[in-house]
Chain A
């Protein structure tokens, strides 16, 4: 695919000279008598379009199809030529729609048959067309800026579609020469300019149109290379429907379009509301949509389209979609379409059906960058147990009010209040000795005692809240509340610890929490499988450490200092898995590869005191282990 091919820029040059006001001599009956009307009325005489009207409506149809299928990056510049060139729009995307063009055309109006033909010429328009092709489009500009030193890769090609009434073949030759010369001159100008681009390739499509019934003075000529930059082709076409058909063929050639006819679409009859008949609708779209059909050899080619003779259409049978669209289907391509006959009743029935999505639509876009979403995912996953049996708090309805808001970037006073209420509620539950949903899977007997259950729950809740204390000062307040409420006489805590083997469960939950790094390093370890063997040797050592009575038991847990970075191996009382051993090993290895956190550097026994300033502010002594000695 090439974005900047010839079809990036199309210039229409339509002749607005006096002879274009001539009738195309194809009559249109517009006064169609409706049934049951008074007898004896003579219908009004049919009217006919001028050459100008035929040219303009055919070019508008070309643009309609092009804009439908390529709403972006395919641009049209419309020029009208008489005693001078009137450029009706620019390359900017805002100018690229039918309404703008129609309004501009209305302002120009039909050609004046009484104007002096000597002053008028299509040449003005052709010169302006070359000029406008040298002008850079916003897409070209953007691509050049983006490519920096490779800016020269951005091509400048274009197509000029000129609709005129030529006098002879030599007149046509003169027009071609003029375009070629103008390109030559303007390329020289563009070479010395920053906002102009040299034309690398220009396709000139000259359409000579003349009233029906007259002989053409100009002969058709297929595409011919006039110079390395310019190719030209000549079409001699009768006005009226013939001209429209020609431009329809051209738009398909120029933009690689193909046709599909949807057949057997059931539609309600206008006259009899409760009956329905089947209709066919022909659509145009990029021909890539047919690639797979053609490959499969099953071309469904259904004769030529109703329009007649010139092109093939693939027929597809309508299939009324089921209403629930929550299934994903494999889709290799989606293509924009444009109905061939946009205003026919079957076409508009189909497009209205497709557009009338029952779902709510809003105008404009949600002005929220994706980065915010990533940020939110980061916050929500700071503490996320993967297994239901490894979490207590996420099995408790009572925790929901806190858990749902603590992950937010900032909290309102009301949020803080709700969190505090949640904590008080939990204290209350503990006082009443309410049971907790602690999983007993994998443990023998009834599982931990009630007070132990609460300890596990409080630990987990603390972990959750702690993961978010840096979000805001209000998060900090929630933690303070939590620590104040859960605190127990230290003796009791100590007694419990000595008295009871710590639950594996708790370790697990803390481990999950502990550090996302761990899991990651496990994955790293996967990649380093080759050195697994060495790890096994060290496993023996690890086991000794684990069983050693010397393995350090954390000192008194003190609020705000419990940033426990001790590797799980040392904490774990259960058998050490190869994984946890390996994780530690890799953690250690990895920690050498990055700059150490200030906290860890300043730590003693892997403990760093956090928020010392808070204590100082509160007039408390820092009691933690020998910080001074280090400095």
Chain B
């Protein structure tokens, strides 16, 4: 999950912090100190993550575009000038633009807003923004909620008492509310000092930036891994099961399946699965490279120890398969090799929606089993077939030839089909009766008995129009069919049974191809 740090560089951030004795600090120094701590943490644990730095006052500026280079971010922190007043709304609009340009609207993003809780004055102040919030039109929409999945963390360089003495806290809380409650406000506990700033940022790190470690298991083969980004808790049903589900730290592989069978399934999120190297901090988070994995890690102890992740990644890639992994009770995901570029690919994990049957075409997950247990190999001797996708028990309407006569054209097509086959009797006897019975069933269900009478009349007319060359059977079948439809159109239970089918008249013309239906 990328992060945007939004740093307040208005004049109020230069307010000194009253400290006894020691050298004088300004609030911005405290902020820089806290951010340094965050960047250091990310450089160690979130090396793959992109972070951008935005500063703002009445204007905003992208100081550092999204980068993994935490040194650059660190340097930028020490090169910040002081500007005029706080104008939060325009900065948030800036964040929207930056994130959407780089990541679009689907990638979740964390926004860390660092401010002192002085929300500006006059136009552009947060108070002003909130006061006019209800009068916005579509083209000057307030930037919250962010148009991408987001968390807004507000780091206040002030303590709770100070914020509560004005309406600052209320305004900031409004901001979180406007972001659909996605986010949190952090304030300094106790006096403003380096130590308390550290503990505040520590809380942010615990909440939003703790790495997710897990053990990947396949039978007796195991590997310690980091799952990145951290999988977020998921609520299945807010009413009957409101507790968010979190994935197991034991990720157990339960089987393997062809990519063609699982066929690009919908997923909640996807994550890199990184083996945790022995010498931590060094090369943590490089993807497993294909063929130069030796070279890449030759100097490391980690590289000398066979790692199950390498075996798994290589095997999945070569076999064109994915591994199904158990994430929790009735919750599964898949592990697969994802190509980054021509040379590099990574082991990744995607999470399916929790439930017994996340992918309908595979059926119930618990019903999947080893091929060797099947009476005969469902993939055939030459691996030329597949048991998937499973057929649903009830076909969908588009697969079952339903009858819909809402538009006249639907009805006309069905009548014409009968007519076309009627003209090719007796060759088309089977199809003729099939279409006739389909129409009959629908007409009975819809209580559309007039149609049956109409079609009967039409068939009788066709009978009179038969050319001399016509097979004698044609006339018999047409008359028979018309008669049967007329009987059905009376609606009497004897002739109008839904499951009753009109069968061809048994005639005996030598050479006739009429068959019993």
Contact = CB atoms under 8 A, between A and B. Distances in A.
Interface residues of A, number: 114
B370 A373 contact: yes
B318 interface: no
Contacts of B276: 526
Nearest to A296: B105
Contacts of A155: 239-240
Contact of B441 (A106, A381, A526): A106
Contacts of A108: 447
Given A47-B450, A61-B404, A331 B267 contact: yes
A1 B397 CA distance: 26
A153 B239 contact: yes
A377 B255 contact: yes
Given A296-B104, A379-B219, A366 B402 contact: no
A343 B444 CA distance: 19
Contacts of A64: 397, 402, 404
Given A67-B397, A325-B263, A331-B264, A58 B406 contact: yes
A102 B254 contact: no
A326 B389 contact: no
B124 interface: no
A390 B304 CA distance: 13
Contacts of A67: 394, 396-397
A374 interface: yes
B39 to A, nearest CB: 23
Given A29-B408, A57-B405, A328-B264, A368 B445 contact: no
A213 B499 CA distance: 37
Interface stretch (A30-38, A188-196, A495-503, A613-621): A30-38
Contacts, number: 298
Contact of B491 (A110, A364, A520, A527): A110
A273 interface: no
Interface string B23-54: 00000000000000000000000000000000
A330 interface: yes
Nearest to B449: A110
Given A331-B266, A363-B391, A369-B367, A143 B404 contact: no
Interface residues of B, number: 112
Contacts of B242: 153
A111 interface: yes
Interface string B209-238: 000010100111111100000000000111
A361 B366 contact: no
A319 interface: no
A106 B368 contact: no
Contact of B253 (A244, A348, A377): A377
A364 B105 CA distance: 40
A343 B404 contact: yes
A386 B220 CA distance: 12
23 contacts: A3-B237, A30-B415, A30-B458, A41-B465, A44-B461, A47-B450, A48-B450, A49-B448, A53-B447, A64-B404, A68-B397, A98-B402, A103-B498, A109-B496, A155-B240, A296-B105, A326-B258, A327-B264, A343-B404, A369-B369, A370-B255, A381-B219, A523-B224
Given A359-B385, A520-B222, 7 more contacts: A2-B238, A53-B446, A295-B106, A334-B266, A360-B384, A371-B366, A373-B368
Interface of B: 104-106, 147-148, 213, 215, 218-224, 236-242, 252-255, 258-260, 262-267, 270, 276, 278, 280, 301, 305-308, 311, 320, 322, 336, 338, 363-370, 372-374, 378, 380, 384-392, 394, 396-400, 402-413, 415-416, 419-420, 441-442, 444-451, 454-455, 457-458, 461, 465, 491, 496, 498-499
